[in-house]
Amino acid sequence: MTVIGTLEEAQTTPPAISEDLVITSGSTAVGVGPSRMARVGSTQPANPVSFQAQDNDWFVHADNMFRVENIGELDDGDPHKNAQIINEFFAYCYTNRVDMAYCGFSALVDSTILVGGAGPALGKTLTLFGSPELRASQAIAGALLEVQNVSYLDWYGKPRLIGSPSASTGFSGRNAREGLRLGAAERFRWGGAYIDGFQGAGIIAAPPTKQTASDLGHVSVVNCGSGKAGSYSITSAWGTSASGGTRVDSGSPGSIAQTTTVKVDTLPPNWTYGSGNFVAGHTPGPLGVMIDGIYHHVMSVDSANSKITVYPWIDLRLTGGTTLVYVFGAGVMLAGGDASAIRIGTLDARSNGVGLWDGALYGSISDALLLQGNGIGLMMGLEPFAASLGHYPGPVYPEGNEWLDIAALAQGTTNYGTLRGDYFPNLSKIRKLCAPRQSASTAFPDGQFVPSSSGMSSFEINAWGMTRIYEKPGSNEWNNTNTQQLQIDRKNVDVMIKANSKTIALPAIDPDLNRLVGYDSAKITAYGTGTDGAPTGTWTFSAQTGSRPATVTSGSATVSGIDTKGLLAGQAVSGTGIPGSTTIASVNSATQITLTASATANGTSVTAPIGTVNGGVSAAFTGLTKATTFAMQFDLATAAWTVVKT
């Protein structure tokens, strides 16, 4: 171990640098002299203001450089002694003002390293230098590195924090719970960090103390938290004969009070328990679980009976047996009202349960997010019923995230922000997770959830060269005169067509654009040569056609394996093996239809209308007395267009 600083005293040749050497700026009791180096005496007071050399002279600390380095090389260090020495160094810096404190060590440690103190006084040293490496030698119940009560501390460097003595991507191989924990560290700033292999969060900023306006710099974080399937996470079976329990559903359709309680074979670690919110101490919540690919928030844990209660309802088609993946921790976890407006330079988050869980009241501000191979890339909001007042991630590059790229968890109506999707976003992997279920299930999965809670309300989504924003009110009913009608693929555009007669083929609606920003309607104003601009002929509205996977069998009029949503008798169909002028004779079930003619060859698809119009094949309007505006809206859950005159 070598501890270095600077001493001043009237003496000539310094001894060679070796064990227990301290060089610190200061003066002796008898006066100030030129710099020299001296060995520290064997007995020192705790957090000394002065040092006694082995020649028995005392040296008073003054402002200059204080240093600890070369402590505990990874292959031969004593983890317990290493932690003690490093903590003594940081304790000295906390209680004494050091202008330039340097830490460049690489150490295996067996307990938490504390930069700061118990408070309430703030640390006196405001600047640290160096990029030390800390590696956990054994299980550490808290964080490997804690920064406490050090507001306005600047750390120039990029520390490395490793959650196990040897590289391990599996959850079971991680020793420490958290990498860096910020507590009462508002306006803390460092250059960044490399963080690898923690059970919970790589970096966590959480109540009950303030972390507002800190700057985390350039952060690379891998293999932290649970939420990615496989060995990366804690998993369990549920509702099986092994767990011996059945589901219990409470609440009602469309209610935010709905929950499902199930018995599980494996509970998450007990330090994740709570109400689903953060609590004091090291509890890193919130806690969620992936069930059949859908995120559910854990509202409570009954450890005595091995049960969890989740929101919203689990799909009623599921009776158990599927694997649950618990979601907790993250690469970076920001939570609570006092962890607000934290800046992240570039976040490189890979193979974490969640890359960035941005749960602060006022969301983080980042330059860029590289989110690759996580369970969930970006999670916004602390829990389904929490307030969330803004998120402004930089350009998001999502790739290979298992469940979702971007998710909004909070239901607060003041949720807003900007998502810059410059890297070709997959809209099906952007979801709002707080919506309750309307019913058990439908053929269209998003039809299970309340639409007014499913859209990314007030979020701008910049994708494919256009800014898209959800503007549709929650009760968008046809009898709601205040409803704002939006064009199908962009907002606030009305189409005007001059024609006495016209057939309008109504297009298919992108389900992801509908869910995220509410596009499902349009207005067309028709005017012709009649009185007051009335069209003199007939305006007809029918649905466009689209291809559907299906099994067409030669010699049979029955088509199976087809999604029959939006199909009805009388609609024209075509495809390989289907004779011309064939229509649907009957819709037999959710997956089968009968045609008016038998197929002449096998086929794997059918071209048919994408839906109904006013309950039929088409809707015709004639006898118009003036220029007329038609309002159109599509219901994805039933594949039904409604067209009305306004």
Strands annotated E in 340-383: 343-350, 354-360, 365-372, 376-380
Q: Say what the pLDDT of residue 605 is.
A: 94
Which residues are CB-contacts of 228 (< 8 A; sequence separation ≥ 6)? 325, 351, 352, 353, 373, 374, 375, 402
Q: Say what the pLDDT of residue 378 is.
A: 93
* The pair of three-digit structure tokens given for residue 152, joined into one six-digit string: 């306005």
Instruction: Say how far apart CA 513 and CA 205 lie, in whole Å.
Output: 34
Q: Say what the pLDDT of residue 209 is.
A: 66
Q: How far is CA 522 from CA 482, 486, 494, in A?
A: 15, 5, 7
Q: Check residues 50 and 297 and name the one with the higher pLDDT.
A: 297
The amino acid at 278: F
Instruction: Say how far apart CA 614 and CA 595 lie, in whole Å.
Output: 22
Q: Say what the pLDDT of residue 91 is.
A: 82
Q: What is the pLDDT of residues 406-445, one digit of tens each?
A: 888 887 644 456 666 556 567 788 888 888 888 755 444 5
The total number of residues written for the chain in this structure: 646
- In whole numbers, what is the pLDDT of the chain averaged over residues? 78
Q: Closest by alpha carbon to 407, among 357, 367, 361?
A: 357
Q: Closest by alpha carbon to 275, among 141, 387, 432, 386?
A: 386
CA quadruple 126, 132, 138, 143: dihedral sign: positive
Q: Check residues 253 and 158 and name the one with the higher pLDDT.
A: 158
Cβ atoms of 54 and 64 within 8 Å: the answer is: no
Residue 39 has pLDDT above 80, yes or no: no
Residue 479 has pLDDT above 50, yes or no: no
Domain ranges of the chain: 107-231+329-463, 233-327, 545-609
Q: Give residue 35's pLDDT band: very low, low, confident or very high (50, 70, 90).
A: very low
Residue 75 has pLDDT above 70, yes or no: no
* The pair of three-digit structure tokens given for residue 359, joined into one six-digit string: 């749960």
The reported pTM is 0.75
Which residues are CB-contacts of 603 (< 8 A; sequence separation ≥ 6)? 550, 551, 552, 575, 576, 577, 578
Q: What is the pLDDT of residues 581-638, one digit of tens each?
A: 999 999 999 999 999 999 999 999 999 998 999 999 999 999 999 999 998 888 888 8
Cβ atoms of 173 and 196 within 8 Å: the answer is: no
Q: Say what the pLDDT of residue 473 is.
A: 42
SS3 call for 175: coil
Q: Say what the pLDDT of residue 453 is.
A: 74
Q: Say what the pLDDT of residue 118 is.
A: 73
Q: Check residues 472 and 515 and name the one with the higher pLDDT.
A: 515
Q: Say what the pLDDT of residue 242 is.
A: 52
Instruction: Say how far apart CA 524 and CA 592 lie, in whole Å.
Output: 35
Q: How far is CA 508 from CA 309, 412, 541, in A?
A: 38, 31, 13
- Prior bond of 312 cis (ω within 30°): yes
Neighbours of 108 (CB within 10 A): 24
Q: Check residues 335 and 542 and name the one with the higher pLDDT.
A: 542
Give buried/exposed letters for 514-530 (b at 16+ CB in 10 A, else e). Answer: bbbbbbbbbbbebbbee
Q: Check residues 94 and 192 and name the one with the higher pLDDT.
A: 192
SS3 call for 540: strand
Q: Give residue 23's pLDDT band: very low, low, confident or very high (50, 70, 90).
A: very low
Residue where the block lists tokens 């037999």 = 588
Which range has highest mean pLDDT (237-241, 497-501, 535-539)?
535-539
Residue where the block lists tokens 């003041």 = 414
Average pLDDT over every residue of 148-168: 86
Of the given ranges (8-12, 59-63, 642-646), which has the lowest mean pLDDT?
8-12
Which residues are CB-contacts of 464 (< 8 A; sequence separation ≥ 6)? none
Max Cα–Cα distance, the chain, nearest Å: 112
CA 88 to chain centre: 37
Q: What is the pLDDT of residues 319-333, one digit of tens each?
A: 777 789 999 999 999
